[in-house]
Amino acid sequence: MTNDYNAADNARKCYDVAIQAMREKLHGFRQERIGDCWLINADCKEVLPLLPKVEAVVTDPPFEKEAHTMGRRLNRGVSRGGPSDVMVPEILSFPPITSDLRDFVAGWCSDKCGGWALAFCQAEAISDWRSSFESHGSKFKRSMIWVKPDGMPQYNGQMPGMGYESIAAVWCGNGQSRWNGGGKHGVFTHCKNSGGKHQHETQKPIPLMRELVFLFSDAGQTILDPFMGSGTTGVACVKLGRKFIGIEIDPGYFDIACKRIKDAYAQPDMFVEQSKTEPPRQLDLMEAAE
């Protein structure tokens, strides 16, 4: 009796089956291709394992439970049609981040990001992000801050107001870290309401995101935001000639992100040469499985 088993052939067939399953699963999500931007309406926990490597991650994930309470937040009322003129206690419509989700994102970035990963967070959560990234082999580099000159005061007068947010800066690439800022400090001062109206509860100003994208990536590279929200990171990428992959679980915010990115392409920045590269392709999933 002859043994016809071929280990190499069996491995190839298993690989082909796995790739096909990944493609089919990805096709099941709502997707939009807009120029060099690939937008996916889904839970990042389901999508990230199906994606290729990227050069950088710039994201504003949900904050910790403490920051989601009414007592911690007071902001201008925001609806998906834009901001209102009424100051109201703000209870965020999405759940806070969990330690499992933080660790999942840090693990993916450590494996699939070839450069910087930036994550907005509370000052108290910097150590949590650092621990998660370092446990997966990435190098925590700096706790940066976004200073908000127009931040809300502490109306009850019981403590100082919160006029900044922290940003964890982590190097996930090989070799020595590098960025476009030289000896510049990791302090970024931008008014909350600069760069147009807000259509998301925690939307970041476009000038801030443009500065971060410019400093931590290069033209033509692919930037990922697994918590895309209303698409501000994507708008910054369009304006700076970067490719973009954005994931957003909320269909309403996904629609807003699509419109804002389309509008960004319709109003190109005359001072920035747009990338001539092709947008991400489904075939890139072959790289993701390697």
Residue spans per domain, the chain: 31-288
CB of 222 closer than 8 Å to CB of 55: yes
The domain over range 31-288 is classified in CATH as 3.40.50.150: yes
* Percentage of residues in the chain having pLDDT higher than 90: 60
pLDDT confidence of residue 153:
77
Does pLDDT of 168 surpass 80?
yes
pLDDT confidence of residue 21:
65
Most distant pair of Cα atoms in the chain: their distance:
87
- Would you tell me how many other CB atoms lie within 10 Å of the CB of residue 263? 13
CA distance 262 to 109: 27
pLDDT confidence of residue 192:
85
pLDDT tens digits, residue range 156-165?
Answer: 778 887 789 9
Q: Which residue has the higher pLDDT, 88 or 180?
A: 180
CB of 267 closer than 8 Å to CB of 238: no
pLDDT confidence of residue 259:
96
The two structure tokens encoding residue 286: 């072959």
User: What is the model's pTM?
Assistant: 0.80
- Would you tell me how many other CB atoms lie within 10 Å of the CB of residue 218? 15
pLDDT confidence of residue 277:
40
Does pLDDT of 274 surpass 60?
no
CB of 44 closer than 8 Å to CB of 247: yes
pLDDT confidence of residue 65:
66
CA distance 33 to 271: 24
Sign of the Cα torsion 191, 192, 198, 203 reads positive
- Would you tell me how many other CB atoms lie within 10 Å of the CB of residue 229? 27
CA distance 244 to 206: 15
pLDDT tens digits, residue range 193-250?
Answer: 776 666 656 679 999 999 999 999 999 999 999 999 999 999 999 999 999 999 999 9
Nearest Cα neighbor of 207 from 185, 240, 179 is 240
pLDDT tens digits, residue range 108-120?
Answer: 999 999 999 999 9
